[in-house]
Amino acid sequence: VAADPLAEALARIVGPADCLTDPDLTAGYRTDWTGRFTGPARCVVRPGTTDEVAAVMALCAAAGQAVVPQGGNTGLVGGGVPRGGEVVLSLSRLVELEAVDPVGGTVVAGAGVTLAALQAHALAAGWDVGIDFASRDSATVGGLVATNAGGTRVLRHGDVRAQIRGVEAVTAAGVVVDRMTRLPKDSTGYDLPGLLVGSEGTLAVVTRVVWRLVPPAPERVTALFGLASYDDALTVLGEVRTAHAVLGAAETFGRAELELVRRHAGLAPPLRADHPRYVLLECEGRGAVEALARVLDGYPLVAETAVAVDAAGRAALWAYRERITECINAEGVPVKLDVAVPPTSLGRFEERVPEVVAGMAPNVRVLSFGHLAEGNLHVNLLDATEAEAEAVEGAVLTLVAGFGGSISAEHGVGIAKRRWLHLTRNPEDIAVMRAIKDALDPHGLLNPGVLLAPAADG
């Protein structure tokens, strides 16, 4: 096989061990976590410094070569894997973590630092990270920023956008833009860090960030209980919020998802009886146990509750919720719809989705679970043919738009949902996004086809 001159030039920048062309070595970078999205890569390049990222981007720009940035490859919308001969730019070697600034409550982290490593680093310094979710061991800071990730603690601390003070990034042309501000107040011009959060690798490559930390919770209590419906779940959530208990998380899943996770993960039933809906609440802060008990004890809607305060007990309860994603994958390749509707519409939405799906593809199974307080449901469709998947996806996302919801609550648009962008973003809005893309990446080399469809496709 003839050597590729571009790959050779890239290898001179990053070193031969970090420019991969062997299909066996690139395989793990070419297929996404779900197994649904896969494509050929020209090569995989793994720079070890911001300057190397800049040199790689400059070389690719000069060659007119498209680039797909990639972090931990846990994204669920096909945005981090190649589609047709792009260079995969893995940021996994940018693992610098500076000492925590105890006055500002911030830390500087490289794009390749995993969420779990960031959490461990913060905890060791007496702080915590306001973001958490199940793929923490692989998902990276750069990926979290690029997707504006959410997870289980948004209710308490906000999404990733709320955690980012400053960003260093490399443009498509290979220019380093340093906006590593640590200041909590800074009104000087456009919010470039805010713009890059959620840009899915289409505007610039994130290389470092200033991450705002949060105080660790002195006490935490986790409670799992069963209810009759979403409406009951929202009533209980409202009671807990009105009691001003400090809520750290409010998650939900149904009977079918519990059955699936028990079957694949070999878990015992969490409660004596079987219920249509399950809610996992976590309260934190001093007096958390008493605060939660005040609301739940003897509450007429809550028949029985499993409660844990120690780390092992809490992890055991979280497993019923956190392991659902991997257990769905164990059943087959899912079509994943990460949507949000106003929480008060969850009950009605949950009724309508199976009706819509059954009307179009009766064999398709629907599994949904998610973040109760934000109305963010992960709707998973199993056993759909490609044609069914497309039709059902369109119908469910149209339903979401009808409820005034979001077609992408936390995973991003990626490849998977770009054709449905018009459902919740009007033409003027999309035109502004295109203008921003054109200004930063005039030749369309950064993650082409992600988020915005190629201009010719409309």
Ligand X SMILES: Cc1cc2nc3c(=O)[nH]c(=O)nc-3n(C[C@H](O)[C@H](O)[C@H](O)COP(=O)(O)OP(=O)(O)OC[C@H]3O[C@@H](n4cnc5c(N)ncnc54)[C@H](O)[C@@H]3O)c2cc1C
| 53/357 with CB nearer ligand X | 53
> Taking CB under 6 A as the criterion, which residues in 120-139 touch ligand X?
133-135, 138-139
Q: Which two tokens stand for residue 83?
A: 């589609």
Q: What is the C-alpha to C-alpha distance for residues 20 and 4, in angstroms, rounded to an integer?
A: 11
**Residue 160: φ, ψ to 5°:** -60, -35
* Percentages (nearest 5) of helix, strand, coil residues in the chain: 40, 20, 40
Residue 144 interacts with ligand X (CB under 6 A): yes or no:
yes
Concatenate the DSSP letters of all residues of 211-276 into one string: EE-BPPPS-EEEEEEEES-HHHHHHHHHHHHHTT--EEEEEEEEHHHHHHHHHHHTPPPSSSS--S
Which window, 141-149, 185-193, 220-228, 395-403, contacts ligand X (CB under 6 A)? 141-149
150 lies in the site for ligand X, by CB under 6 A: yes
Binding flag, residue 146, ligand X (CB under 6 A): yes
The answer to whether 367 contacts ligand X (rule: CB under 6 A) is no
Sheet holding 365-371, edge to edge: 305-308, 220-227, 277-284, 247-254, 365-371, 376-382, 335-340
Tell whether residue 33 is a contact of ligand X (CB under 6 A). Answer: yes
Residue number with CB closer to ligand X (13 or 146) = 146
Under the criterion CB under 6 A, does residue 411 sit at the interface with ligand X? yes
Kindly give, in sequence order, each residue whose CB lies less than 8 Å from that of residue 244, ignoring residues fewer than 6 positions away: 291
Q: Looking at 10, 11, 46, 75, which residue binds ligand X (CB under 6 A)?
A: 75
Out of 43, 54, 61, 149, the only residue in the binding site for ligand X (CB under 6 A) is 149
| Three-class secondary structure of residue 164 per DSSP | strand
* 27 vs 309 by CB, closer to ligand X: 27
Interactions with ligand X, residue window 273-332 (CB under 6 A): 325-326
Beta bridge partners of 227: 277
Question: Residue 248, interface with ligand X (CB under 6 A)?
Answer: no
* 69 lines the binding site for ligand X (CB under 6 A): yes
The CA-based diameter of the chain, rounded to the nearest angstrom, is: 74
Nearer Cβ to ligand X (232/374): 374
Applying CB under 6 A, which part among 55-63, 98-106, 144-152, 232-240 lies near ligand X?
A: 144-152
CB of 75 to ligand X, least distance (A): 3
User: Which one, of 246, 227, 223, lies nearest residue 235 by Cα?
Assistant: 227
Task: Report if residue 147 touches ligand X, rule: CB under 6 A.
Answer: yes
Is residue 250 within the footprint of ligand X (CB under 6 A)? no
How far apart (Å, rounded) are the C-alpha atoms in residues 312 and 377? 27
Rounded distance between C-alpha atoms, residue 446 and residue 175, angstroms: 13
Q: Is 357 in the site for ligand X (CB under 6 A)?
A: no
Q: Which residues bind ligand X (CB under 6 A)?
A: 33, 68-76, 79-80, 91, 111, 133-135, 138-140, 142-144, 146-147, 149-151, 200-201, 205-206, 325-326, 410-411, 447, 450
